Structure formats: structure tokens, C-alpha cells
Amino acid sequence: MLKRLKSYLNQRRKSASNLEPELVITTERDEERTLLLIKSGVQRSVEPIIGETVLQIAEMHQVEWNSFCKRGTCARCRCIILEGEELLSSPNEAEEARLDPEELEEGYRLGCQVKVKQPGDMTIRHAPYF
């Protein structure tokens, strides 16, 4: 039974790692904005809108970001900023209340709260707790 449990858990880890979407937001020198979605090896480029949240951008382009409340309480839209943190809004009260200080320091944010504030290169990966 232990062997079957280990096998099951390994399969779950492999399938979960293939399902984690990444949003890669880039701006070329000519100021064209491009948002590149990478999910299971598939890439799609779209134009982000400054002032919109990561979740809003994902939803506008039919990217399932696994959100529920959209108020910063459920954390299903939790993501990690891998590049371009300085181009995004600072953590707000909802994020500070829901995320641990260590998570914020590591670059974790709530997709429904973090907004694009200026153009530039950003890499954002969906990283929910479950």
C-alpha cells in the first residue's frame, strides 16, 4: 500500500508541475507591450493593460488563473514574481493580511491584487497553495 501511495503522489507532482501557468510580460524597445503565456509548453502573446491586475489580464485572455473571491482572501490566485517586481504595484493591505511576511519577501503576491504599473519585462508564475 505504501508503494502505491508513493506512486500516486509522484504522479500528482508531475501532473501539477505541468499545469502551473506562467505569465511573461515583456515590453519591446518600441513600447509594444506583449504578454506571453507559457502553460504546458504552449505559448500565447497578448497585450497587457497598465493598471490592470495580473488576474484581470489572465482572464481577459482566457487564461485559467484559478481565482475564487477576487478580494484577496482566498489566495487561489497566489503567484510568484520571478522578474520585474519593480514594475508592479506594492503589496496592499489585502496581500499583507493574507500572505506571510516571508512570502512577500520571496516575491509571492495575489494575482487579484497586484497591478501592472509600468511597462517592462516581467515573469509571473501561478503558485497556489493547493
Nearest to 57 by CA among 84, 80, 33: 33
The strand order across the sheet containing 33-39 reads: 42-46, 33-39, 22-27, 122-126, 78-83, 108-110
Domain ranges, ordered by start, for the chain: 21-126
DSSP helix/strand/coil, 63: coil
Task: For cell 493574507, name the residue.
Answer: 98
pLDDT category, 93, cuts 50, 70, 90? Answer: very high
Task: Please give the backbone phi and psi of residue 40, each rounded to the nearest 5 degrees, phi first.
Answer: 55, 40
Helical H runs in 20-53?
A: none
pLDDT digits (tens, 9 = 90+) for 33-72: 556 555 544 456 666 789 999 999 888 888 778 788 999 9
> Does pTM surpass 0.85?
no
- pLDDT at position 126 is 83
Confidence at 5, pLDDT banded by 50, 70, 90: very low
Grid cell digits, residue 7 = 506512486
State the chain's mean pLDDT as an integer: 77
CATH architecture label of 21-126: Roll (3.10)
Q: What is residue 58's predicted lDDT score, i.e. its pLDDT? A: 84
